[in-house]
Amino acid sequence: MKVVHLTLAALAFSLPSAAAGQKVGPLTSATAAILPAKVSPPPRLAERLGAAPLAVLPSAAEAVPAEIQALQAWNEAGRLPVRNGFVRRLAEPLRVDLDKTVWGGEVQVVGAYRLRLHLAGVRLPTGTRLWVYSDSEVAGPFGPDLVGPDGGLWTPSVAGETARIDVELPDGVTGGGLGFNLDSVLEIVPVFEMADLPCQVDASCIGRDQLGVIDILRHAVARLQYIDNGQGFLCTGGLLNDTDPTTEIPYLLTAHHCISTPAEAASLEAFWDYFTESCGGTAPRLSQVPRSQGSTLLATGESSDFTLLWLPRVPPGRTFLGWRAAPVPAETLAYRLSHAGGGPQSYSVTQIEDFLGTCRDRPRPRFLYSAPVQGATAGGSSGAPVVLASGEVAGQLLGGCGSSDNCSINQSAVDGAFAATYPSVRQFLDPPRPCASNPQALCLLDGRFRVEVAWQNQYDGESGVGRAVPATDSTGFFYFYDASNYELIVKVLDFGDVIKVFYGQLTDLGFTLTVTDTRSGAVKRYQNGPNNCGGIDQTAFPSSAAVREGKKASCVADADTLCLHDRRYRVEVEWRNQFNGESGRGRPVALSRESGRFSFGDPTNIELVVKALDFGDRLLFFWGALSDLEYAITLTDTETGAAETYRNAGGNFCGGIDNDAF
């Protein structure tokens, strides 16, 4: 399975005027990307067979004391993010060739607290299930969708000094070079004592009377651990809502100084609901709380220290924080839950201020400074969202400024400002919507462009909005007062490499013509000129249907073919019932510009749902299955002729993702 490598978004330092008032409230979800309620247990082959461990590593104190000392020195110096582990390589990588349907093995590290195994050169088919487990904990099943950009996979972590792994291939699939190299382990060490501050506040001591959105906040914030350059690190992150009410996508906000590369994102392990059982009570074991594994880097930037991730799945019971794109005024109270030192959630309150000092290279308004009111943060809190009383995110934690004492009144919290981050994440959190025709808007070029007019009569002071009269897919008219009196004509034409906007006028009144590209969010505005003669914008918008290798999009939807993205991508399905030998072609029904469904026999029985998302430099293709029959999905880019086929073996019903289809 390939992994997306999205181009890191460049951060704009000034906010677009259209975004100044943009915001969205928090969301409590009942359905978002919910994990299965029933989890299949591992085969426990290594345990049942009693086979000797594949490798046994001596204790870190004996074998790699320098690693422990370096980790302690890093944390004691207050460097961020906090380290919580280090990679230990096996003496010799172990090659695992999967010539059987099920395989199992184990690795021991004497005296270890928690372990993660690394599989290199992974070649596993879609539908493969893996588990990792110890004497006290089971994580999985998970699949090859966790493979990172280097072709490797970090398993979830398990407690104890023995990590066992089971692999189960889809029925009938073996050999052909399938397998991996087991080459190293990440040894995780406890660092919770770092968060033992006298001013620290247990988040479980806070009720709705103190913060009305506390329950939303506690179920949106996660303890993050990930791997970078052979070291394990701890941070905090929070789920964000988006403005599309029809979707619930697990977007996670954290800090750039935490996660900033696709490899780090792929290694992410997020633990949810990690808080004490009661005020001042016992913290749960990590094995007792739900978790998410892996992520895709969507956007990141140092200028406001932000990173936005997409999680492939989250457990039930999640909530999504709101956000606001406008700057936060001084004297506003801001609230935070974070995993200081990797421990259970702690609570802190600060007040946004204008007069506090500014850390070097962290200028306003790209960063927020706030004075302590209650509680504190510590190492491990990095990336924790800071929210307003409404549950709207205002930024994410960079660190402290002014004092090395986390409890000092002179220590101000420094957050990357969401108002500065917003332009770089807008395409995900506030996605453009297709144009919908109405009396005040023209929808041109298959609904891509929305055209609107505001007018003002300079002679009598009257004003209003133009009334739209559609003509063709590329042209339309507007009238101001009388439906029989056309005042403006507008045309939008695609010239292959550029889209041009033409407007002609039969009026001398003042007007503002607004043309919006609903795919990119780009906006162009045109006003009445001195000669009342209209105009042409020769380079208004880039074309999304540029000619490639002399070919244009040519998908033709029919009884066997689904066309996506304005007829560029063709999706076809062939199926076979392995139980009775029947076969045929899937019957499609389009659901949107980006998605559709297929039935096999009975048109009322949905068997597959597919979706193609364009992330600019690559296409992500998803398919969800409600069937365990054999099928093959063929995705074709009709502009280039490139094609991919995704096959499902009979008995598998997991669906899949290709993070780099084209």
Q: How far apart, in whole angstroms, are the C-alpha atoms of residue 559 and residue 171?
A: 31
The residue extents of the domains of the chain are: 45-190, 198-429, 442-542, 562-658
Q: What is the DSSP letter of 86?
A: E
In the numeric block, the tokens 């995704």 are attached to 646
Q: What is the pLDDT of residues 90-115, one digit of tens each?
A: 999 999 998 888 899 999 999 999 99
Query: How confident is the model at residue 32, as a pLDDT?
Result: 43
What architecture (CATH level 2) is domain 198-429? Beta Barrel (2.40)
CB 175 within 8 A of CB 99: yes
Residue 19: its pLDDT value, please? 41
Q: Write 542-550 long-range contacts (CB < 8 A, 24+).
A: 542/497, 542/498, 542/499, 543/494, 543/495, 543/496, 543/497, 543/498, 543/499, 544/448, 544/519, 545/494, 545/496, 545/639, 546/496, 546/497, 547/496, 547/497, 547/639, 548/639, 548/640, 549/639, 549/640, 549/641
Strand segments, DSSP code E, in 457-542 are 463-465, 467-470, 475-479, 486-494, 498-505, 510-517, 523-527, 535-542
What share of residues in the chain are helix, strand, coil (percent, to 5)? 10, 45, 45
pLDDT at res. 401: 85
**Distance from the Cα of residue 353 to its chain's centroid:** 31
Q: What is the DSSP letter of 71?
A: H
- Measuring CA to CA, how many Å separate 8 from each of 115, 157, 299? 31, 28, 5
If one counts every other C-beta atom within 10 angstroms of the C-beta of residue 347, the result is 24
- The tokens describing 615, both together, are 């992330």
Burial letters 516-534, b for 16+ CB under 10 A, else e? bbbbebeeeebebeeeeeb
Q: What is the pLDDT of residue 192?
A: 63
Cα–Cα distance measured from residue 170 to residue 393, given in angstroms and rounded to the nearest whole number? 43
Rounded Cα–Cα distance for residues 141 and 127 (Å): 11
Residues forming beta bridges with residue 585, ordered by sequence position: 574
| Contact criterion met (CB below 8 Å) for 387 and 213 | yes
Give the pLDDT score at 217.
97
Strands 251-254 and 231-240: antiparallel
Residue stretches of the chain with pLDDT short of 70: 1-21, 29-39, 175, 192-196, 432, 529-530, 544-554, 616-617
pLDDT at 553: 54
For the domain 45-190, what is the CATH code?
A: 2.60.120
| Cα three-residue angle 537-22-526, rounded to 5 degrees | 15
Q: What is the pLDDT of residue 433?
A: 72
Q: What are phi and psi of 415, to 5 degrees?
A: -120, 140
pLDDT at 544: 57
Residue range 30-69, pLDDT digits in tens: 444 444 445 678 889 877 877 789 999 999 999 999 999 9
pLDDT of residue 37: 42
Output the pLDDT for position 36. Answer: 43
How are beta strands 467-470 and 463-465 bridged, if at all?
A: unpaired
Tell me how long the chain is.
662
Phi, psi of 203 (to 5 degrees): -60, -25
